[in-house]
C-alpha cells in the first residue's frame, strides 16, 4: 500500500505530518521478490521531527542515498530509528541473527555519506534506535580493513544531545552452522554521550557494564530486552553496576528448569537449550516518592568482607577486574529466589520503576484459592 504513488504524494505534501514510522513485514531474504518490496522512496518528506524505518531491505547504496537525502530535508529531526531485514537461526534458543560479514557496515556508510555533505551538521537527536542490521561496529575488524577508521557516528549525530539510545547487541553468527557469539559493539563511538538518560540493549554483557560505569554513568533508565534464565552469568553484571542516577530497570527473566547440587552454580548458559514453553507477561511496578537521584551507596551483605578488610585489595585491583568479580556474596542463596534487586549493590533502594516479565502460573504467589 505504501508503494502507491498517489498515497505517497499525499503523505509527503501534507503540512501536518511530522512523524513517520514504518515497520515492514518480515520476509525471508532468499525470496528477493518479496524482500525487495520492504522499502519506500523517502524523497519528498520534509521537516520531520521523527523518522523510524524498521525491517527495510534493498540495495545499500540506493537506500543510504535516499536516507541521507531525506535527512538533509529534516534538520530538526529529534528521533531516528533504523533496522534492516535479517534472517535468524530459530532452531536453537535464544535465536541468533545470521549476519554475513558484508552486512557489517551499513551504519558506517550512512554516517560517512551524510558527513561528506559539507553543508550538513550532525543531527541534534533526542532518541536514536538502532536495531538488527544497523551495527555500531569497530571498522578495524573488517577484512580488508576499511579506510578512514575512527569515529563515524558523530558525523551523523550530535552525541552530546542524545538522551535515549536503543541498540542491538544480541547473539549473531555468520553461518547457520557457526556457534552464536554476542555482537561486538564499538563503544568508543559513544563516549561523548554525556547526557544519555535511557539505554536499551539486547544483552547485558561485560562490555555494556564497563561502558555504563565510565562514559555512560549518566543513564537513569536501563532496559535489557533479551530473555535471561536464572543461571545466566550475564546477570551477575548487575552486581557491579554503578549508576548514581539509576531509577528504572527492565529485565526479561525466563523460567528454566532448576538444577541440583553443584550444577546449580554452573556458569553454563542454560537459556540456550532450556527455555520454558510458558508465555511471559510483562508486569511493571512504579514506586511513589522522591524525584531526587542521589548516588547509590554500596551496602555490604551478611557474610561479606567489611570496608576495612577490602580497602587494601581495592587499592591494588580495579573493582571490575576478575579478582573482584569473583566475590559475589549472594551466591549463598538459592538462585531460584534471587531477583535483580538482590544482585544490585544497594538492592534497588533508589529505583522508582521496575519492569519484569514473569510467568503468572509458576512465578506469582497468591493467597487466592479457587473452589
Question: Does residue 130 fall inside a structural domain?
Answer: yes
How many domains does the chain contain in total?
1
Question: Does residue 316 fall inside a structural domain?
Answer: no
Q: What is the pLDDT of residues 181-195, one digit of tens each?
A: 888 899 999 999 999
Question: Does residue 333 fall inside a structural domain?
Answer: no
pLDDT level of residue 162 (50, 70, 90 thresholds): very high
Question: Does residue 95 fall inside a structural domain?
Answer: yes
Q: What is the pLDDT of residues 251-288, one digit of tens each?
A: 987 767 777 665 555 544 433 333 333 333 333 333 33
Question: Does residue 23 fall inside a structural domain?
Answer: yes
283-287 — which CB contacts under 8 Å span 24+ positions?
Answer: 283/355, 283/356, 283/357, 283/358, 284/250, 284/353, 284/354, 284/355, 284/356, 285/353, 285/354, 285/355, 286/352, 286/353, 287/351, 287/352, 287/353, 287/354
Q: 153: which 3 cell numbers?
A: 557516528
Task: Show the domain range for 170.
Answer: 1-196
| Nearest-angstrom CA–CA distance, 24 and 3 | 12
| Nearest-angstrom CA–CA distance, 163 and 204 | 19
Do β-strands 171-173 and 181-182 pair in parallel, antiparallel, or remain unpaired? Answer: antiparallel
Question: Does residue 311 fall inside a structural domain?
Answer: no
pLDDT level of residue 33 (50, 70, 90 thresholds): low
The pTM of this model reads 0.77
| Residue 208 vs residue 147, higher pLDDT | 208
Question: Does residue 24 fall inside a structural domain?
Answer: yes
pLDDT at 32 over 60: yes
pLDDT value at position 163?
98
Instruction: Determine how many CB atoms are found less than 10 A away from the CB of residue 300.
Output: 13
Amino acid at each position: 500500500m505504501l508503494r502507491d504513488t498517489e498515497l505517497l504524494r499525499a503523505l509527503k505534501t501534507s503540512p501536518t505530518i511530522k512523524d513517520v514510522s514504518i515497520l515492514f513485514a518480515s520476509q525471508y531474504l532468499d525470496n528477493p521478490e518479496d524482500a525487495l518490496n520492504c522499502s519506500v522512496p523517502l524523497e519528498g518528506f520534509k521537516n520531520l521531527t521523527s523518522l523510524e524505518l524498521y525491517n527495510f531491505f534493498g540495495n545499500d547504496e540506493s537506500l543510504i542515498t535516499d536516507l541521507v537525502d531525506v535527512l538533509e530535508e529534516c534538520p530538526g529531526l529529534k528521533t531516528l530509528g533504523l533496522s534492516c531485514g535479517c534472517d535468524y537461526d530459530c532452531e536453537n534458543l535464544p535465536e541468533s541473527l545470521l549476519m554475513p560479514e558484508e552486512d557489517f557496515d551499513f551504519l558506517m556508510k550512512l554516517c560517512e555519506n551524510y558527513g561528506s555533505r559539507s553543508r550538513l551538521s550532525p543531527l541534534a537527536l533526542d532518541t536514536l534506535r538502532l536495531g538488527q542490521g544497523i551495527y555500531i561496529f569497530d571498522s578495524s575488524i573488517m577484512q580488508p580493513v576499511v579506510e578512514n577508521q575512527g569515529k563515524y557516528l558523530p558525523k551523523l549525530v550530535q552525541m552530546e544531545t542524545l538522551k535515549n539510545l536503543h541498540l542491538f547487541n544480541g547473539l549473531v553468527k555468520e553461518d547457520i552452522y557457526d556457534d552464536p557469539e554476542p555482537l561486538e559493539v564499538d563503544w568508543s563511538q559513544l563516549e561523548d554521550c554525556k547526557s544519555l538518560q535511557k539505554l536499551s540493549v539486547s544483552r547485558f554483557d561485560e562490555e555494556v557494564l564497563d561502558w555504563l560505569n565510565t562514559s555512560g554513568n549518566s543513564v537513569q533508565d536501563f532496559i535489557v530486552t533479551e530473555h535471561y534464565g536464572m543461571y545466566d552469568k550475564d546477570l551477575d553484571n548487575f552486581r557491579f553496576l554503578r549508576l548514581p542516577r539509576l531509577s528504572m530497570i527492565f529485565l526479561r527473566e525466563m523460567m528454566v528448569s532448576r538444577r541440583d547440587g553443584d550444577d546449580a552454580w554452573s556458569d553454563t548458559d542454560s537459556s540456550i537449550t532450556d527455555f520454558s514453553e510458558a508465555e511471559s507477561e510483562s508486569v511493571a511496578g512504579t514506586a511513589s516518592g522522591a524525584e531526587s537521584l542521589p548516588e547509590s551507596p554500596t551496602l555490604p551483605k551478611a557474610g561479606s568482607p567489611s570496608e576495612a578488610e577490602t580497602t587494601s585489595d581495592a587499592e591494588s585491583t580495579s573493582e571490575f577486574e576478575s579478582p573482584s568479580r569473583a566475590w559475589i556474596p549472594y551466591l549463598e542463596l538459592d538462585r531460584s529466589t534471587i531477583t535483580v534487586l538482590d544482585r544490585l549493590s544497594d538492592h534497588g533502594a533508589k529505583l522508582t520503576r521496575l519492569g519484569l516479565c514473569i510467568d503468572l502460573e509458576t512465578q506469582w504467589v497468591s493467597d487466592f484459592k479457587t473452589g
